[in-house]
Structure 1
Amino acid sequence: MYQGTKIFALSLLSGLVAACQQVPNTPQSMTGIGAYEQVRAPSFAQAVMPVPISEQQRLEQDTEKYQKNEVNPVFRVSDQAISTFSIDVDTGSYSNTRRFLNDGRLPPADAVRIEEMINYFDYQYPQPIGIHPFSVTTETVDSPWKQNAKLIKIGIQAKDLSVKQLPPANLVFLIDVSGSMSAPDKLPLVKQTLRLLTEQLRPQDKVTIITYASGEKLVLKPTSGDQKDKILSVINALKANGATAGERAIQLAYQQAETAFVKNGINRILLATDGDFNVGITDFNTLKSMVTEKRKSGISLTTLGFGTGNYNEQLMEQLADAGDGNYSYIDNKNEAKKVVQRQLSSTLATVAQDVKIQVEFNPATVKEYRLIGYENRMLKQEDFNNDKVDAGDIGAGHRVTAFYEIIPAGQQGWLNDSRYQAQTKPDATKKSEYAFVNLRYKLPNQDKSILLNQAVKMGSKPLAQAHSDTRFAVAVASYAQQLKGGQYNGSVGWDQIIQLAQQSAQPDPYQMREEFVELAKIAKSLSAKKD
């Protein structure tokens, strides 16, 4: 009797504390795509209801998983002049971080991947006009973070395709319907997302639906995209119950995708889950190795992440990378529209595979450099010319942006000058270039890579005179660096980040940049490092 009373008292106290903690502390006005409704405190009746012990323990123990990546270091050009990395077009880190901020919490540092923050937004790069499936542009500006430093922006624009131009698609919806997916921001939002995608289907497209919980089940055999009512009826009937056995379900998804394989078409699995695999093969490396092997069949894997509390972001991001697909985190219906409606072509159709970037810095003009983001996409120098080494893919219409911060020769950088190492003597014939950018890629379903390169000319412009897209991208990079602790932001704080974003927020047809300003304001209010 005493033990039961004690449990009830603890539950009552937990409910009252939760009620106090949920008082809204977000700005009174939230605008733009992805904005959450104001958080409402529970009623007194809700607050005093005993919380089941299992649920109470779940709330007290946040089991979300994130991959730890150390921030890229500074390199001395005289020691290591070449930097090599793989393209990344994932955007899940941005929307996942947004979810934390809208919940009144700063995100874990490991949840922030700078390149995904930058690449969440649309930038106006020129469409390719030559033989290559993408264009490459560069712009160099004065860095706002460190005196005398420069920022080199590399922008890639893949050729665009309308939905009508897409080849026939063989899609397998692999849906987690386990008990952990019952929350409103999980299976109900998955169903909304798949309804939006179904609306885009054409008669030449085929959809297969597989669900998994304690077991996997084929609930819809390959069905033509013109039978939308049949597809939607299956989606609408989905319910959450059971444990999560994801490994066998992924195997079944690949089997079904192979059965309905479309030659020269789009063959893709879309995995919708919180990533909480707890039955069967749950080892991260085993699952990743399985997907890595399966991609050789020409079937890609895209992951769509949902939910909070037990969300396994590390698994979702890495499975998509291993499966030559994209990773997105969907926190609301507007994000679902962005991913599967406005960006359907880039989500499904690949125009370039295994895209690698290698930048060689000129020791006559550059003393030090650091790559901003892409920590889990770094490659060895010898990987660049090795066509057996996998890299990222670019979808139709995708835009990819990368920044290097450099210290010009003769300027004080992050590192002390060496006392004994001989200083590089400038070569007058090469003083017109900061760097030389090499890109390798393969056309879809080809084994031999193609090389594309161009020089980065010496010289820069003040940030205030840069293209508005560049200024906004710098604001986003500053925001992401600040969320990770601000190690390289110098004197740039939240006020300067917000001001720079506001000054470069146009054009903004979907209010994405307007929303970013609001998120930066929330981050400022939550941060202990206020200006």
Structure 2
Amino acid sequence: MKYRLLITCAMAAGLVACASHDKDNSKSNRSDATADETFAEYAPPPQMMREMAAGAQLDLAYAPMPAPYAQPADTSRYSNGVQNPVFRVSENPVSTFSADVDTASYSIARRYLTDGQLPPSEAVRIEEFVNAFDYNYPLPKSSNEPFRPDIEIVPTPWNDKSELIRIGIKGYDIEPDEIPDSNIVLLLDVSGSMNSPDKLPLLVSSMKLLVDELDKDDTVSIVVYAGAAGVVLDPTPGNEKVKIKQALDRLSAGGSTAGGQGLQLAYDLAMENFDKDGVNRIILATDGDFNVGVTGDDPLTDFVARKRKEGVYLSVLGFGAGNLNDQMMQSIAQNGNGVAAYIDTLDEARRVLVREFTSSMFPIAQDLKFQVEFNPAAVSEYRLIGYQTRILNEEDFKNDAVDAGDIGSGHTVTALYEIVRTGEEGWLEDRRYASTSSVDYDPDAELGFLRIRYKRPGQMKSRLIEQAITPDDRVRSFAAASDDTRFAILAAGFGEKLSRSSYAESLTYDWLIDEANDAKGRDEYGDRAGFVQLLRRAGELSPEDRG
């Protein structure tokens, strides 16, 4: 397995950290890079681009850490979309959405709760609470079909008139000898606002965890930019860990964040080292917005989407508090065929960059889409819990030109629908001028039909997996459901409460704590125990919701 790992750092002029380089480096024949027109105005000077690309020695020096950065008022931006409505099956029987394996929202909420605050409701994406945990769904038998659906239907614990359908898949786990080579560019923001213990120092420690996973067949390079860009560390074998970590230790924070310029350079480097048989990915690590150069979400999104079509993907890691642009993170990660995660602790860095490295880096399926068609003979109303920012039109499901989420090796994806049986009282009022053709409830009828579309990496045509949702998928009570199903529902319930949803008002934190303790199951890394502690903290901050 070989990783070509390039670390690109956004740095202020005069505070850039660079190691010396040999002007006769073997890559000195690289031709001038032409910047994408979107970022051309902000690209480094051509001569500096040539020197950077050739690995020439730059007259830049490491600077001591500046005085603590004066953090401005909190300007964080979050987006969880508009809460999904309840649909009548007779009018809208089909629900379509893109898969999501991001977990940033859960980590952001954890940071708020740890700091003694309830998170803003707009920061809570319920599907990311659910998908922050691993589930023991059945593994597919071979890579020819990278996952198979697992379905369970249980009574809703917060509504005695509805049921929950839990749909889960677990990706095929790549064997170590099947892991492809990787060309990875880490684009690290070390602007002035990163001068905080939970930002640049945590970022550096996180990168060291990744370095510890590399071996002699892996390659690491470090690149920095300020007003201009330059190479800090030429491609270095992954087993030269001391050399790599020393380069990381010398980074310091200061100045503004010319992120657009950094992205252009990162993509230039990724394309120069492009591996047509491997994985080519940029990882942007930042605490907030780009404040120099192209700053709007739309230009960035368009740029990232174009580069995705060329085979270079992008993931985003968020650090720190105060100016986190979660909205931008979500947008460019979704359009870059990547994941968005938020690193609030070293344990979270270990989960994302070590425990789940292969699942985050190596997609086994791309453009993963779910579609459920409900049967009016069994279901009268439904709502999809979460995935507000991932909703697709029905016609998008079969359109292979429409981008959707990816799933990595061994990753799980979980979705929850709340449904009302036909003939039962639901959320919606009866219509005065309803259709004259009424549908009788059929207890033996299929509740719905699940379709999943995905593409194998590098392929343009999607494949289809289908499975009926039947009464046989029901369990008699919430307590009788599997630990995984109950825990996923409890995670969703927690998200419902923190997002101030009207659907789960009857839930109490004391009940959630008791049930979560009972549903922890085999908790190898203590993730579910940590969830219980967050429930306790939220209960302390919301005493009216305790019992």
| TM value normalised by structure 1 | 0.86
Q: Closer, same or farther in 2 for the Cα pair 1:365/1:309, shift >3 Å? A: same
379-388 or 67-76: bigger deviation: 67-76
C-alpha displacement of 1:233 = 2.3
1:483 maps to amino acid:
L
Contact 2:422 2:441 in 1 (8 A): no
The CA RMSD over aligned residues, in Å, is 1.9
Aligned runs of 1:136-155 on 2, under 5 Å? 136-155=149-168
| 1:192 is aligned to 2:195 | no
Aligned runs of 1:276-291 on 2, under 5 Å? 276-291=289-304
Query: Counterpart in 1 of 2:536?
Result: 521
Aligned runs of 1:226-265 on 2, under 5 Å? 226-265=239-278
- Corresponding residue to 1:177 among 176, 185, 190: 190
Aligned runs of 1:86-235 on 2, under 5 Å? 86-130=98-142, 131-235=144-248
| 1:469 is aligned to 2:484 | yes
| 1:396 is aligned to 2:422 | no
Contact 2:76 2:288 in 1 (8 A): no
1:521 maps to amino acid:
R
1:272 maps to amino acid:
A
Contact 2:69 2:196 in 1 (8 A): no
C-alpha displacement of 1:189 = 0.6
C-alpha displacement of 1:399 = 0.3
Contact 1:169 1:204 in 2 (8 A): no
C-alpha displacement of 1:230 = 3.0
2:533 maps to amino acid:
E
- Corresponding residue to 1:482 among 491, 497, 506: 497
Contact 1:205 1:225 in 2 (8 A): yes
* Structure 1 portions without partners, runs of 5+: 1-51
498-507 or 112-121: bigger deviation: 498-507
What is the alpha-carbon distance in structure 1 between the residues aligned to residue 154 and residue 543 of structure 2?
30
What is the alpha-carbon distance in structure 1 between the residues aligned to residue 537 and residue 227 of structure 2?
40
| 1:508 is aligned to 2:523 | yes
Could you report, residue by residue, the CA deviation over 1:427-470 in whole angstroms, capped at 9, with x for unpaired residues? 79994210100000000000000011100002622111000111
Query: Counterpart in 1 of 2:75?
Result: 63
| 1:406 is aligned to 2:416 | no
Q: Closer, same or farther in 2 for the Cα pair 1:516/1:428, shift >3 Å? A: closer
SS at structure 1 position matched to 2:479: helix
Query: Counterpart in 2 of 1:369?
Result: 382
Report how many aligned residue pairs link the two structures.
477
C-alpha displacement of 1:209 = 2.6
Query: Counterpart in 1 of 2:22?
Result: none
Contact 2:422 2:440 in 1 (8 A): no
- Corresponding residue to 1:270 among 283, 288, 291: 283
Q: Closer, same or farther in 2 for the Cα pair 1:213/1:520, shift >3 Å? A: farther
360-369 or 508-517: bigger deviation: 508-517
1:323 maps to amino acid:
G
What is the alpha-carbon distance in structure 2 between the residues aligned to residue 199 and residue 82 of structure 1?
47
Contact 1:84 1:357 in 2 (8 A): yes
C-alpha displacement of 1:423 = 5.6
What is the alpha-carbon distance in structure 1 between the residues aligned to residue 505 and residue 69 of structure 2?
45
SS at structure 1 position matched to 2:83: coil
Q: Closer, same or farther in 2 for the Cα pair 1:470/1:251, shift >3 Å? A: same
Q: Closer, same or farther in 2 for the Cα pair 1:150/1:430, shift >3 Å? A: closer
352-361 or 130-139: bigger deviation: 130-139
Could you report, residue by residue, the CA deviation over 1:133-173 in whole angstroms, capped at 9, with x for unpaired residues? 11211000011121221100000110112555311111112
Query: Counterpart in 1 of 2:361?
Result: 348
Q: Closer, same or farther in 2 for the Cα pair 1:371/1:215, shift >3 Å? A: farther
What is the alpha-carbon distance in structure 1 between the residues aligned to residue 384 and residue 203 of structure 2?
35
Q: Closer, same or farther in 2 for the Cα pair 1:475/1:279, shift >3 Å? A: same
Contact 1:168 1:204 in 2 (8 A): no
Query: Counterpart in 2 of 1:450?
Result: 463
C-alpha displacement of 1:223 = 3.2
Query: Counterpart in 2 of 1:38?
Result: none
1:481 maps to amino acid:
E
C-alpha displacement of 1:344 = 0.9
Could you report, residue by residue, the CA deviation over 1:452-493 in whole angstroms, capped at 9, with x for unpaired residues? 110000262211100011111111110000001131114222
1:420 maps to amino acid:
Y
| TM value normalised by structure 2 | 0.84
What is the alpha-carbon distance in structure 2 between the residues aligned to residue 145 and residue 430 of structure 1?
23
C-alpha displacement of 1:53 = 13
What is the alpha-carbon distance in structure 1 between the residues aligned to residue 398 and residue 309 of structure 2?
20
What is the alpha-carbon distance in structure 1 between the residues aligned to residue 240 and residue 437 of structure 2?
68
Bigger proportion of residues as helix:
1
SS at structure 1 position matched to 2:168: strand
Q: Closer, same or farther in 2 for the Cα pair 1:428/1:496, shift >3 Å? A: closer
470-479 or 455-464: bigger deviation: 455-464
| 1:79 is aligned to 2:91 | yes
What is the alpha-carbon distance in structure 2 between the residues aligned to residue 132 and residue 89 of structure 1?
19
Q: Closer, same or farther in 2 for the Cα pair 1:68/1:432, shift >3 Å? A: closer
2:206 maps to amino acid:
T
Q: Closer, same or farther in 2 for the Cα pair 1:217/1:180, shift >3 Å? A: farther
